[in-house]
């Protein structure tokens, strides 16, 4: 579940930025809402990834992939917010 949430959280801001560039940089409310929800998905996925990593004697590949994707998604949203402030 962490990996799936991470994929959604990484792809959503990229699509939102792409669509806002298509309309000459006009960011609609829906794009901001998609990025906000992707941030929530990333936080939930990060918690799920850490919780699944703490289980004993499991296959940890998807735990690591989920943690990495969710951290990337949070970094992606942070960069967008930082660029918006500047």
Domain-wise residue ranges, the chain? 2-85
pLDDT in tens, 14-26: 999 999 999 887 8
- How far, in Å, CA of 74 to CA of 80, rounded? 10
CB 42 within 8 A of CB 77: yes
Q: What is the pLDDT of residue 77?
A: 93
pLDDT values of the chain reduced to their tens digit, one per residue, 86 residues = 999 999 999 999 999 999 999 988 788 899 989 999 999 999 999 999 999 999 888 889 999 999 999 999 999 999 988 988 88
């Amino acid at each position: 579940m962490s990996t799936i949430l991470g994929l959604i959280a990484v792809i959503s801001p990229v699509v939102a930025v792409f669509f806002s560039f298509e309309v000459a940089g006009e960011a609609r409310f829906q794009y901001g809402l998609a990025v906000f929800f992707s941030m929530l998905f990333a936080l939930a996925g990060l918690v799920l990834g850490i919780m699944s990593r703490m289980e004993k004697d499991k296959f940890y590949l998807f735990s690591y992939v989920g943690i990495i994707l969710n951290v990337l998604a949070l970094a992606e949203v942070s960069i967008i917010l930082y660029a918006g402030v500047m």
